[in-house]
Structure 1
Amino acid sequence: MTMVQAIRSALDVMMARDERVVAFGEDVGYFGGVFRCTEGLQAKYGKQRCFDTPICESGIVGTAIGMGAYGLHPVVEIQFADYVYPAYDQLASEAARLRHRSAGEFTAPITVRMPCGGGIYGGQTHSQSPEAIFTQVCGLRTVMPCNPYDAKGLLIASIECEDPVIFLEPKRLYNGPFDGHHERPVTPWARHPQAAVPEGYYQVPLDSAAIVRPGAAVTVITYGTTVHVALCAASETGIDAEVIDLRSLWPLDLDTLVNSVRKTGRCVIVHEATLSCGLGAELLALVQEHCFYHLEAPVERVAGWDTPYPHAQEWAYFPGPGRVGAALKRVMEA
């Protein structure tokens, strides 16, 4: 499966398995979503369970919170992550706090899907990577898969979770892995081992990272599209890098990160979002706190520029294999 097909399969499995699961958002019903992730679901399950909404993100998320509080498991789509800001108050002030402020009487078992990141010539309002504003909110879970197998398993786990989950989908990976050198997938998912997705039900735990490339010289911590960029950089430099895909951005699988950095003694953190106050800053702080006496070199971060999204220069803005490879070499030479 492609990642689009894996996401659609997860929704199909859960809607067939649990009548409490409903899917809605802008163009989600008849049209099947702008990226076709919900294609065919309205025809199969009807307009009561897969339907279109007005262009009102705060209303979409607010409605989902109410549905969740009364027993449903809504899966809503924000058409692009850039559009989520009108709904941020609903997520941070209502969904994230509902379990705690009601002493467990109510929960918000909602999943908020949104395509994120650049690479489709979408300009400033269709290309942002806002994950850090969600990982900072206590009560929200934030997830970002980098391959079809994880996408389906994580989405199923998110839908079954009793807490609100922000499910970020790197749109550059919808149709194939991206190595950072090419503006299109280097190979279709059909020829990639992580595209072997079971048809039925399975879960990938929400709080588990994956070691996608074992190594002993340096740890690379990354997620989403830049997992594939990091793998390319490690291969091109010949450095024995251990590449870790976070998968769950928050809560973190801290044990996997700490054990790896204590083994290698070096660390590079890579993400597409802007550098300052990005998730990489928190990751760096955690590595320093837990691995300081094991480090042989300063921790490096490779990220997007501290600038509004530069549409005309987006391929220079993205961390590519060249920038990641240079960071790997610096920490090895330090």
Structure 2
Amino acid sequence: MATALRRLGRRMAVPFFRVREFSASTSVLQNEQSGKSMNLYTAINHALHIALETDPRAYVFGEDVGFGGVFRCTTGLADRFGKSRVFNTPLCEQGIVGFGIGLAAMGNRAIAEIQFADYIFPAFDQIVNEAAKFRYRSGNQFNCGGLTVRAPYGAVGHGGHYHSQSPEAFFCHVPGIKVVIPRSPKQAKGLLLSCIRDPNPIVFFEPKWLYRLAVEEVPEDDYMLPLSEAEVIREGSDITLVGWGAQLSVMEQACVDADKDGISCELIDLKTLIPWDKETVEASVKKTGRLLISHEAPVTGGFGAEISASIVERCFLRLEAPVARVCGLDTPFPLVFEPFYMPTKNKILDAIKATVNY
């Protein structure tokens, strides 16, 4: 009964949206260099179409992916590629990932969807004890490198404590898997294709808050973006800000407001959390002398703590102030009190000023 209620709650937590179906006549495989305005979920959909079209070994599976999924990221896939390659699974996350490990071990590209990142925990054992160790336990005689686990993560504005969590730090502790989080539609498409084609198992977290809010020009052709390379998306001289996913847009707003007070902020999108690009962050902090990290997950044990420790080790004599962290609170994710929980623009702006004036 408890399981049935959890499933029902999951189905009702996020409203369904009326969206335009993917048209086969608008092929993403025409190798056009021109961009097209897309939101983030459409960019994910394009990437999945390309992955299935270019590799007959690729399969997409998960709860409700056959009709498009809760967020419609898999819309049109089953109609175009057939139900033998795009199919629904039982409501069992451990089974979804376990099946994906076996499929990948046979040389296929297994693209598994966990409907919400909050429900990835039943599959935790499969990911950290099986997928992450598969290659190591055989001395590279066999592996499941073709596994990509997609999961919408983070705040959505009304999700409460079962549909808003950011569990990335749990998986960053595990050698053998990669963790990737995009910030925008263009990044999402290129990074997802890189993940699917990477020879390592990867957990790909998609910021659900941005599925329909983030819109930009996205190339319609097949392209990949490099993993484990951070991007400096805003140059500055007074303080370095590091983040990932939906938090980047909040941090950028804080940087704009900081400019008005004469504070020059350098903003870095980490993109890949494991293995992360320490060199880019280190070079920036050595230039600015200050570092602020922001993420939605709780502050204690969050991945920001790992970044802070690493940069203190590497840049101790160049730091002008303690490393600042603006993160979620050490509580379950709230519903009506979500604005108090979230690392907002004003919280980040206050931390910027306090760090620069230290």
TM-score normalised by L of structure 2: 0.88
The question of whether the paired residues in 2 share the 8 Å contact of 1:119 and 1:314 is answered with no
The equivalent position to 2:112 in structure 1, one of 73, 76, 83, is 76
2:233/2:268 contact within 8 Å kept: yes
Deviation of 1:200 after TM superposition, in Å, equals: 1.6
What is the CA deviation profile of residues 151-200 of structure 1, one whole-angstrom value per residue up to 9, with x for unaligned ones?
001000000011110000011111124xxxxxxxxxxx1xxxxx221112
Q: What is the distance in 2 between the residues matched to 1:161 and 1:98?
A: 15
Q: Distance in 1 between matches of 2:280 and 2:270?
A: 9
From 295, 315, 332, give the equivalent of 1:308: 332
- Pairwise CA distance, 1:72: 0.6
Find 2:172's aligned residue among 135, 138, 145: 135
1:179-226 Cα shifts (integer Å, max 9, x gaps): xxxxxxxxxx1xxxxx22111211111111111111111000111111
Greater alpha carbon shift after TM alignment, 55-64 vs 234-243: 234-243
- Provide the C-alpha distance between the structure 1 equivalents of 2:69 and 2:264, rounded to a whole number of angstroms: 41
How far 1:20 sits from its partner (Å)? Answer: 0.7
Give yes or no for contact 2:258–2:265 (8 Å, CA) kept in 1.
Answer: no
The equivalent of 1:262 in structure 2 is: 286
| Alpha-carbon shift at residue 89 of structure 1 (Å) | 0.1
1:269-321 Cα offsets, whole Å, 9 max, x none, are 10010000000100100110111111011110000000011111112211011
Q: State the one-letter code of the partner of 2:113.
A: E
Does residue 110 (structure 1) correspond to residue 131 (structure 2)? The answer is: no
Please point out which of 168, 171, 181 is paired with 2:205: 168
Q: What is the correspondence of 1:24-173 to structure 2 with a 5 Å cutoff?
A: 24-29=61-66, 31-108=67-144, 109-173=146-210
Task: Measure, in 2, the Cα distance between the counterparts of 1:312 and 1:249.
Answer: 30
Provide the residue aligned with 1:289 in structure 2: 313
Q: Residue 76 of structure 1 contacts residue 113 of structure 1 at CA under 8 Å; is this kept in 2?
A: yes
Task: Say if 2:257 is the partner of 1:236.
Answer: yes
What is the letter of the counterpart of residue 257 of structure 2?
Answer: E
- Confirm or deny that 1:199 pairs with 2:211: no
Equivalent position amino acid for 1:273 in 2: A
Q: 1:113 aligns to what SS in structure 2?
A: strand
- CA–CA distance in 2 between the matches of 1:214 and 1:33? 38
> Alignment partner of 2:254: what SS?
helix
Cα distance in 2, alignment partners of residues 298 and 103 from structure 1:
42
- Equivalent pair of 1:216/1:264 in contact (CA under 8 Å): yes
Q: TM-score, normalised by structure 1?
A: 0.94
Q: Report the secondary structure of 2:111's partner residue.
A: strand
Aligned counterpart in structure 2 of residue 226 of structure 1, from 247, 252, 263? 247
Letter of the 2:275 counterpart: P
Total equivalences in the alignment? 317
Contact 1:154 1:206 in 2 (8 A): yes
SS of the residue 1:118 aligns to: coil
Q: Which amino acid aligns with 1:23?
A: V
- How far is 1:14 from its partner? 1.0
Q: 2:112 corresponds to which letter in structure 1?
A: V
Determine the C-alpha separation between the residues in 1 that align with 2:83 and 2:54. Answer: 18
Residues 52 and 58 of structure 2 are in contact (CA less than 8 Å); yes or no, is this contact kept in structure 1?
Answer: yes
AA of the residue aligned to 1:5: T
RMSD: 0.7
Amino acid across the alignment from 1:314: E
User: What SS does the aligned partner of 1:197 have?
Assistant: strand
CA distance in 2, matches of 1:160, 1:280: 28
Per the alignment, in what secondary structure is the counterpart of residue 282 of structure 2?
A: helix
Q: Distance in 1 between matches of 2:346 and 2:328?
A: 14
Determine if contact 1:221/1:270 at 8 Å carries over to the other structure: yes
CA distance in 2, matches of 1:321, 1:199: 33
Give the fraction of aligned pairs with identical amino acids, expressed as a percent: 46
- Structure 2 CA distance, aligned partners of 1:155 and 1:92? 21
Report the AA paired with residue 313 of structure 1: F
Unaligned runs of 5+ in 2: 1-37
